[in-house]
Amino acid sequence: MGRNGFLGSFQGFDAFGKTMEDVKIKTRTGALLTLISFSIILSAMLIEFIDYRRIHIEPSIMVDRSRGEKLVIEMDISFPRVPCYLLSLDVMDISGEHQTDLEHDITKTRLSKDGRVLEVTKSGQLKGEAERANMNRDPNYCGSCYGASPPESGCCNTCEEVRQAYVRKGWSFTDPNGIEQCVDEGWVEKMQEQNTEGCRIEGRVKVNKVIGNLHFSPGRSFQNNAMQIQEIVPYLRDNNHHDFGHIINKFRFGADIPQAQEAALLPREMATRRRLGIKDPLQNVAVHTEESDYMFQYFLKVVSTSFVYLSGETISSHQYSVTQYERDLRFGNAPGRDGHGHMTSHGVNGVPGVFFNYEISPMKIIHTETRQSFAHFLTSSCAIIGGVLTVAGLVDSIIFNGSKRLQGREPGFNGPSGKMM
């Protein structure tokens, strides 16, 4: 079995044969390559370790299987030339039903011409101030509708009910001074006091997670024979100029969770959004017009989004894309040429205001935090060390052999000039 028996035979499997120190030649070039290789290995290992500790976010797409959820719309919009008493907020879903029993938290702020805050009113209603009737009347009081179509009760006890009766009859509500209810409520004085003001609306509205629209418009909207009617005479026949130029300070879609929980999760969600470059496209959008009879429309595609963190915590939210469309209503539905010279016509009448038409995407985007495994880090480290040393050995051999050939000596391991790596 050889001189050393079994151990001697086992040594034959050694793939790392050793050389004697006497046959090794050490050069300055080899020393320099060794230092460079060591520096490269340290740098690459440091980069690999940083990458190992870094948290990556991997996106994925799946079908949104949620059912029966609510959608929270958070907004902060300023209208410099529409007073608060004229401004109404309405929400409708795909069925066309006017949602009046929504959970919401809306704040209206009266603004002066130069944008100063005059008064902040926090209300649980979506109606304008001119729409809230005086509730201190005699319970037996039955006001006249002045020949217009009365409500089911047969009485018009408030200025607002008289206005609705006029709309149902198809009449224009142009002279509130001749209406007892309006005079008692100080409706005219309130209009004159606030005519030159603007309004800022901020808060949140909870809606069904279906196709729908949220719109700001002047006056009061009514449902009549399955049609929505907008009463805008006070807006158009005012002696002051009004228009729906606006500034969108914030407009985002959130998940249906308690506000306290949302406030706790929001900083982390916003930090993740900034890291991914996700922005609300309508934020800080300013639009101006000099026309009172002008309509702004935004068409939004809302996509459910979830952020899944390494800790197991999940934050549900939404992101959206938007397309903007503007329409001058002075020409009605008559055909005309647009800015590109194309002949266009409109099949439906428009109303001055700002309309947000949102559609829910059937897809859901999930952003998941991930981190490299330790096995991946270990494998990459071994590959770095072996690769750098192998390449350095090849470079050193080429330089050594090339220098000997230039000196006219034959390189080799048998002569005194040979180098053993």
Tell me the CA distances in angstroms from 36 to 28, 41, 389, 397, 419, one per residue in order: 12, 9, 10, 15, 20
Mean of per-residue pLDDT scores for the chain: 79
Q: How far apart are CA 402 and CA 124, in angstroms?
A: 88
Q: Given this model, what pLDDT does residue 318 score? A: 94
Place 354 in a pLDDT band, splitting at 50, 70 and 90.
very high
Phi, psi dihedral angles at 57 (to 5 degrees): -115, 120
Longest dimension (CA), the chain: 128
pLDDT in tens, 105-145: 788 888 988 888 888 876 544 444 444 544 556 667 788 88
Evaluate if residue 391 carries a pLDDT over 80.
yes
Q: Which residues contact 19 (CB under 8 A, 6 or more apart)?
A: 420
Three-state secondary-structure class, residue 283: coil
Least confident range from 25-29, 51-55, 97-101, 399-403: namely 97-101
Average pLDDT over residues 347-376: 88
pLDDT mean over 280-299 = 91
Task: Specify the DSSP class assigned to residue 313.
Answer: -
Poorest-confidence range of 3-7, 151-155, 190-194? 3-7
The model's confidence at residue 406, banded by pLDDT at 50, 70 and 90, is: confident
Instruction: Work out the average pLDDT over 331-352.
Output: 66
Minimum mean pLDDT among 114-118, 310-314, 372-376: which range? Answer: 114-118
Query: Of 250 and 177, which is predicted with more confidence?
Result: 250
- Give residue 103's pLDDT: 43
Mean pLDDT, range 393-402, rounded to an integer: 85
Instruction: Output the pLDDT for position 68.
Output: 79
pLDDT at position 120: 80
CA pair distance 65, 363, nearest whole angstrom:
9
Question: CA geometry: angle at 387 spanning 382 and 391, to 5°?
Answer: 155
Average pLDDT over residues 29-56: 90
- Is pLDDT above 80 for 89? yes
If you average pLDDT over residues 41-67, what whole number do you get? 91
DSSP state of 98: B
Q: Is the pLDDT of residue 300 over 70?
A: yes
Q: Flag the least confident range among 113-122, 190-199, 328-337.
A: 328-337
Between 366 and 329, the higher pLDDT residue: 366
- Between CA 207 and CA 126 the distance in angstroms is 13
| Spatial CB neighbours of 79, under 8 Å, sequence gap ≥ 6 | 87, 198, 199, 200, 201, 216, 244, 245, 246
Pick the closest to residue 191 from 128, 147, 134, 139 (CA basis). Answer: 128
Residue 129, token pair as written in the block: 């101030």
Query: With bands split at pLDDT 50, 70 and 90, how would you rate the model's confidence at 95?
Result: low
Encode pLDDT of 215-274 as tens digits.
888 865 544 444 454 555 455 555 667 888 999 999 999 888 888 888 899 999 999 999
